[in-house]
Amino acid sequence: MKEEKLEKAVVRLREGDSNALAEIYEITSRGVFTFVLPILHDYQLAEDVMQQTFVTAYENIQSYQPGTNARNWLLTIAKNMALTEIKKRKREVSYDFDQDNHPDGVYFLGNIDSPTIALANKVLAEDEFNIVIMYAVGEYKHREIAEFLHMPLGTVTWKYNNALKKMRKALEENQTSYEREQAKAKI
């Protein structure tokens, strides 16, 4: 029911009805905020990113393909904006930290370091990334993620496990590359 209402509102917005944006906001703002807060770990910044998500969605409404998942489209915009904020803040924050405390340039976001999030964003499909972030960073249960993303619980669990396999493989490949580089450096 909510998804149909959201889809209709997004299509109306795409057709030029700017009043539909308020309806889209009403339906999804809480979910978008809940999605970006665990990524950003900053309430005010999460509110700003949430607001900017709707501005960006409005400005880029023609990129939405009717009949696809409107909620995932919005969450993708929100995810990209949150990751951009992390990158921006990492550059800003890196000057404030003593290099002795963070010699490798890795800063942490909750229990997950930012390079791991960047790797996940690189190797995972959008829905897998969303599920992993919501589970690992947001500490949502699979059941809650399934409800939020309107997916069957089994699908969420399968996608999560598949995403972990992809991440392990990518991390192993990165580790192997690093070990080869270290071996070459010793020669």
Query: Among the three residues 39, 73, 96, which one is the final residue of a domain in this structure?
Result: 96
Kindly state whether residue 104 falls inside one of the protein's structural domains: no
- Are 45 and 114 within one domain? no
Kindly state whether residue 102 falls inside one of the protein's structural domains: no
Give me the domain span that covers residue 32. Answer: 1-96
Place of tokens 């998804």: 3
Q: According to the per-residue pLDDT averaged within each range, which of 85-89, 153-157, 171-175 is highest? A: 153-157
Average pLDDT of span 42-68: 93
Average pLDDT of span 152-173: 93
- Are 71 and 138 within one domain? no
Q: Name the average pLDDT for the chain.
A: 81
Q: 108: helix, coil or strand?
A: strand
CATH number at residue 140: 1.10.10.10
Residue 148, pLDDT above cutoff 80: no
- DSSP run (H or E) holding 109: strand 108-109
Query: Among the three residues 65, 96, 127, which one is the final residue of a domain in this structure?
Result: 96
- Are 64 and 142 within one domain? no
pLDDT digits (tens, 9 = 90+) for 80-108: 999 888 877 765 544 343 334 433 433 33
Kindly state whether residue 103 falls inside one of the protein's structural domains: no
Query: Among the three residues 69, 96, 123, which one is the final residue of a domain in this structure?
Result: 96
Kindly state whether residue 175 falls inside one of the protein's structural domains: yes
Asked if 63 and 80 touch (Cβ cutoff 8 Å), the reply is: no
State both tokens at 8.
Answer: 């209709």
What's the DSSP call for residue 63? G
State both tokens at 152.
Answer: 């069957």
Report the number of distinct structural domains present in the chain: 2
Q: What is the C-alpha separation between 89 and 22, in angstroms, rounded?
A: 30
Q: Has this prediction a pTM greater than 0.95?
A: no
Whose CA is closest to 148, among 121, 127, 117?
A: 127
